Amino acid sequence: MSTSPLVIAHRGASGHRPEHGEDAYRLAIELGADAIEPDLVASSDGVLVLRHENEISGTTDVAEHEEFRHRRTTKTIDGTKVTGWFTEDFTWDELSTLRIRERLPELRPESAAHDGEGRIQRLGDLLDLLDAADRPVGLVAEVKHATYFDSIGLPLGELLADELRQRRWVDDPRLTIESFEQTVLGRLADQRLGARLVYLLEKAGVAADLVAAGRSSVGYRDQLHAESLESFVDAGLHGVSLDKHTLVDARGVTDGRVVDRAHAAGLDVFTWTLRAENAFLAKANRGPGGKAAFGDWRAEFTSLMALGVDGVFADQPELAEEAGVALASR
């Protein structure tokens, strides 16, 4: 009998409500998610806020605030020029006046119908929800753009460690911390927070901390061989989280060899992101109705889970739960 992997609600139940909003988090708990994944960025006064990116024009109404019009700017974030409004240019009090909105309204009009109903959340707000839940729900906190935030005097790892200690989340079995940059994970390992530490890997590209260290020739793909995976364990990491396109191709064919190598090295393996809309499915699993319609998500979800991954990130956590139950009953 197969084992059902953990289901981690990606930015909350982000397939149903604007991501990283209180409603998305509450709904994820109601839908049975095992854990919730927030992305962590910072305000100018060092408050950890929950946004997919530090540039917030696509997920808030900041552009409609005349008093903030002059703060629109262009920055280079991890080697890419980005224009908009950035969390680090606002105090928390200022950010708290903004309303959130659906990031993908053309694909998720039902979620977009809830635009303006919620406000930006802080990490502390989500911890309050998890502490008040009627069952244990995990936290999988993603530290975003750590090297960039270090460069502007807002060290996300230190801010996170301080808040977890203040909130008494240290040594909490519900706690996992992840990042696309191994450097910040190493620093968090030194903090001895008792968290499980997971390294996120894209299908392609190079980690921002390696670029900053002059090691731009070491891509994410180069870190998936056995020796590199074993080095993660030696560095105090507990798992890797893989772009699902590393595991499934456009034909819907899955390849679990990297999962097996990671398990052999002693690492847990997660994959992201399970989404039901045709726009996100492998070509072979798409159905009629256009990009926003649901395709054969069951086939894709269960085929990925059948590779033996320990957890999946999902925008529609209830569908991932359903696929996991089906797999476990085989």
User: pLDDT of 261-298, one tens digit each?
Assistant: 999 999 999 999 999 999 999 999 999 999 999 999 99
On the question of pLDDT at 1 being above 70, the answer is no
Dig out the tokens for 273 from the structure.
């992101």
CA distance linking residue 7 with residue 222, whole number of Å: 28
> Tell me, what's the pLDDT at 215?
94
Give me the percent of the chain exceeding a pLDDT of 70.
Answer: 99
Give CA–CA dist 313/301, Å, rounded: 11
pLDDT reported for residue 233? 97
Cα separation, 307 vs 91, in Å, equals: 44
CA distance 50 to 43: 10
**What is the distance between the alpha carbons of residues 11 and 23, in angstroms, rounded to a whole number?**
11
- Please report, for the chain, the start and end positions of each structural domain, with discontinuous segments joined by +: 6-54+123-328
* Topology adopted by domain 6-54+123-328: TIM Barrel (3.20.20)
Q: Which pLDDT belongs to residue 35?
A: 98
- Dump pLDDT digits (tens) for 163-195: 999 999 999 999 999 999 999 999 999 999 999
Query: Is 306:300 a contact under the CB 8 Å cutoff?
Result: no
The upper half-sphere exposure of residue 110, i.e. CA atoms within 13 Å in the direction of its Cβ, equals: 7
pTM of this prediction?
Answer: 0.97
pLDDT at position 244 over 60: yes
So what's the pLDDT on residue 2? 54
Predicted local distance difference test score (pLDDT) of residue 119: 98
Is the pLDDT assigned to residue 203 strictly greater than 90?
yes
Q: How far apart are CA 222 and CA 205, in angstroms?
A: 10
DSSP state of 292: T
Which helix (H) or strand (E) element contains residue 41? strand 39-42
pLDDT in tens, 123-157: 999 999 999 999 999 999 999 999 999 999 999 99
One-character DSSP codes across 200-253: EE-SSS--HHHHHTT-TT--TGGG-SHHHHHHHHHTT--EEEEEGGGTB-TTS-
Q: d(Cα 304, Cα 275) in Å, to the nearest integer?
A: 12
pLDDT confidence of 329, banded at 50, 70, 90? confident
| pLDDT value, residue 3 | 72
Rounded Cα gap, residues 60 and 159, in angstroms: 24
Distance CA(92)–CA(327), nearest Å, equals 44
Q: Each residue of 215-227: pLDDT tens digit?
A: 999 999 999 999 9
CA distances to 7, 145, 315, 316, 325 from 322, in Å: 10, 33, 13, 10, 5
Average pLDDT, whole number, for the chain? 97
